[in-house]
């Protein structure tokens, strides 16, 4: 099993190309099930989660071909992928596939809308919280679906004539459920209104793609989304938006180590709240023609309090990374997690590097220390794993991060991108 070895102490200098967003690519790929034409997606990152979803879509009958990479960045794995779901051969998503990635549950929306039925395994538990599917079920029921849970599977059927437009107000914001209900509603009869919808850029990106396929969606990116159902969708070509979580992660890495890095092919507007928090730590952040420039000179890291919130608030997917940054601040900071009930598993691993962190409910108190020291650590989930990398970049000596398959789920070529900017990071195969 691979591990990542990091020797801390080097500033970061150079250019880091930002990949396409995993959290945008996955629902876009699933949207290909809505049409029998070809959906072509550009800037798709090469990640374990993407590869797993390719296998899942293939199980439903999608024909998938991959070609290309960025010409001017031959080392990048960004790809163009063509998805053609002309014939749906199965409307069942089995446990052995869904259990490996929660987002695969989202196929229930397109399958139900296009085929009138879907049998999808419940995704099971999750390391960072329960994340129940009740919002998905209630939303689809509002479109007329009949849904039963039996033997660990959600069995959904549409009434004769297909789904019908309806109104559903989410009791709490859910990005995944917003994706699913929006996709299902594109082929429903009549008008659908989604209230308290997720406003994340990835939701707006999905709506942009669906509209290019012939859907009639307005309001995506706001709390109210309106969808006028159409009889069928066509193919389209769409470029996946930049990964705001990767952008924020590398910005925090520069703030942690010091240096001067251009984050290329990304947009500040995707993560204004997070960038403002990083500025408050003492880093300088400015927009350039090619992306974002992050600079921190020899000044110390100032403590900053944050609270995670749905977009446009501070992203929960950057909470662990920010905690890693705060471990070397010049004072006391507090991080409150409001999205997931069990997203502080990285605390004990950061403590192995010398961090001083205490927990009280959903709030972590971080007392900054003057030095961290390398140690063996273990990744517990995707975002937690990269928080250890950020801390290790500023730690004295060697840190060995195990279970890096978590990193491979969401960060394309992380060790290579950091190494090109002067970090001492290498993958070690046992």
Spell out the long-range contacts of 401-406 with Cβ–Cβ below 8 A and sequence spacing 24 or more.
Answer: 401/3, 401/4, 401/5, 401/6, 401/377, 402/1, 402/3, 402/376, 402/377, 402/378, 403/1, 403/378, 403/379, 404/2, 404/3, 404/4, 404/379, 405/1, 405/2, 405/48, 406/379, 406/380, 406/381, 406/382
Do the Cβ atoms of 334 and 366 come closer than 8 Å? yes
Binding residues for UDP-N-acetyl-alpha-D-glucosamine: 102, 131-135, 172-175, 317, 339
Residue pLDDT, tens place only, 8-56: 999 999 999 999 999 999 999 999 999 999 999 999 999 989 999 999 9
pLDDT of residue 77: 62
Domain annotation for the chain: domains and CATH numbers: 2-19+243-429 (3.65.10.10), 22-235 (3.65.10.10)
Based on DSSP, count helices (H) and strands (E) in the chain, helices before strands: 14, 24
Rounded to whole angstroms, what are the CA distances from 9 to 6, 14, 259, 371, 377?
Answer: 10, 16, 11, 11, 18
Question: What secondary structure letter does DSSP report for 78?
Answer: -
Residue pLDDT, tens place only, 261-302: 999 999 999 999 999 999 999 999 999 999 999 999 878 999
Please report, to the nearest 10 degrees, the dihedral formed by the alpha carbons of residues 119, 125, 129, 131 taken in order.
10
Rounded to 10°, the helix 382-393/319-326 angle is: 20
pLDDT of residue 82: 97
Average pLDDT for 352-371: 97
Task: Tell whether the model's pLDDT for residue 203 goes beyond 70.
Answer: yes
Measured CA to CA, the distance from residue 210 to residue 235 in angstroms comes to: 9
Query: Using 50, 70 and 90 to split pLDDT, how confident is the model at 381?
Result: confident
Task: Tell whether the model's pLDDT for residue 72 goes beyond 60.
Answer: no
Q: Which residues pair with 228 in a beta bridge?
A: 191, 216
Residue pLDDT, tens place only, 215-261: 999 999 999 999 999 999 999 999 999 999 999 999 999 999 999 99
Rounded to 5, what percent of the chain is helix, strand, coil?
35, 30, 35
Q: Is residue 252 classed as helix, strand or coil in its secondary structure?
A: helix
Measured CA to CA, the distance from residue 203 to residue 21 in angstroms comes to: 12
pLDDT of residue 78: 77
Average pLDDT for 172-196: 97
Query: Using 50, 70 and 90 to split pLDDT, how confident is the model at 124?
Result: low
Mean of per-residue pLDDT scores for the chain: 93
Measured CA to CA, the distance from residue 213 to residue 230 in angstroms comes to: 11
Task: Tell whether the model's pLDDT for residue 76 goes beyond 60.
Answer: no
Which residues have CB under 8 Å from 110's CB, separation 6+? 30, 31, 33, 34, 183, 184
HSE, CB side, 13 Å, CA atoms: give it for residue 218: 3
Measured CA to CA, the distance from residue 414 to residue 240 in angstroms comes to: 19
Active-site residues, by number, are 126
Query: What's the pTM?
Result: 0.94
Question: What secondary structure letter does DSSP report for 36?
Answer: S
Which residues have CB under 8 Å from 375's CB, separation 6+? 352, 353, 395, 399
Q: Tokens 């909470």 map to which residue?
A: 319
Measured CA to CA, the distance from residue 190 to residue 383 in angstroms comes to: 40
Binding residues: 22-23, 102, 131-135, 172-175, 317, 339
Which is it for the CA torsion 415, 418, 420, 425, positive or negative?
A: negative
Element containing residue 119 per DSSP (H, E) = strand 117-121
Binding residues for phosphoenolpyruvate: 22-23
């Amino acid at each position: 099993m691979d591990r990542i070895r990091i020797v801390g102490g080097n500033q970061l200098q150079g250019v880091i190309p930002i990949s396409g967003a995993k959290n945008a690519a996955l629902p876009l790929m699933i949207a290909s099930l809505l049409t029998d034409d070809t959906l072509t997606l550009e800037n798709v990152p090469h990640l374990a989660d993407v590869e797993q979803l390719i296998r899942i879509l293939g199980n439903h009958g999608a024909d998938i071909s991959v070609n290309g990479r960025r010409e001017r960045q031959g080392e990048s794995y960004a790809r163009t992928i063509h998805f053609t779901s002309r014939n749906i051969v199965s409307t069942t998503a089995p446990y052995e596939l869904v259990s490996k990635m929660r987002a695969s549950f989202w196929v229930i929306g397109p399958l139900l809308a296009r085929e009138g039925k879907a049998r999808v395994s419940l995704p099971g538990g999750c390391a960072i919280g329960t994340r129940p599917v009740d919002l998905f079920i209630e939303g689809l029921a509002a479109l007329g679906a009949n849904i039963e849970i039996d033997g660990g599977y959600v069995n959904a059927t549409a009434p004769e004539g297909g789904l019908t437009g309806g109104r559903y107000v989410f009791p709490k914001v859910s990005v995944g459920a917003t994706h699913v209900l929006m996709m299902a509603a594109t082929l429903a009869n009549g008008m659908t209104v989604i209230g308290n919808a997720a406003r994340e850029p990835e939701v707006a990106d999905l709506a942009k793609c669906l509209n290019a396929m012939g859907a009639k969606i307005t309001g995506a990116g706001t709390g109210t989304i309106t969808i006028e159902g159409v009889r069928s969708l066509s193919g389209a070509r769409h470029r996946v938006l930049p990964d705001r979580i990767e952008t924020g992660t590398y910005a925090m890495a520069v703030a942690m180590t010091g240096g001067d890095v251009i984050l290329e092919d990304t947009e500040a507007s995707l993560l204004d709240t997070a960038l403002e928090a990083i500025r408050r730590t003492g880093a300088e952040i400015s927009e350039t023609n090619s992306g974002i420039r992050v600079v921190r000179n020899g000044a110390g890291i100032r403590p900053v309090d944050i609270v995670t919130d749905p977009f446009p608030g501070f992203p929960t997917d950057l909470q662990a990374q920010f905690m890693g940054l705060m471990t070397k601040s010049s004072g006391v900071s507090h991080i409150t997690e409001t999205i997931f009930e069990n997203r502080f598993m990285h605390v004990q691993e950061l403590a192995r590097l010398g961090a001083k962190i205490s927990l009280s409910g959903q709030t972590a108190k971080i007392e900054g220390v003057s030095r961290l020291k390398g140690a063996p650590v273990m990744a517990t989930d995707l975002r937690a794993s990269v928080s250890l990398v950020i801390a290790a970049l500023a730690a004295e000596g060697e840190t060995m991060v195990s279970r890096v398959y978590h990193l491979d789920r969401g960060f394309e070529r992380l060790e290579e991108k950091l190494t090109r900017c002067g970090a001492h990071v290498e993958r070690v195969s046992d």
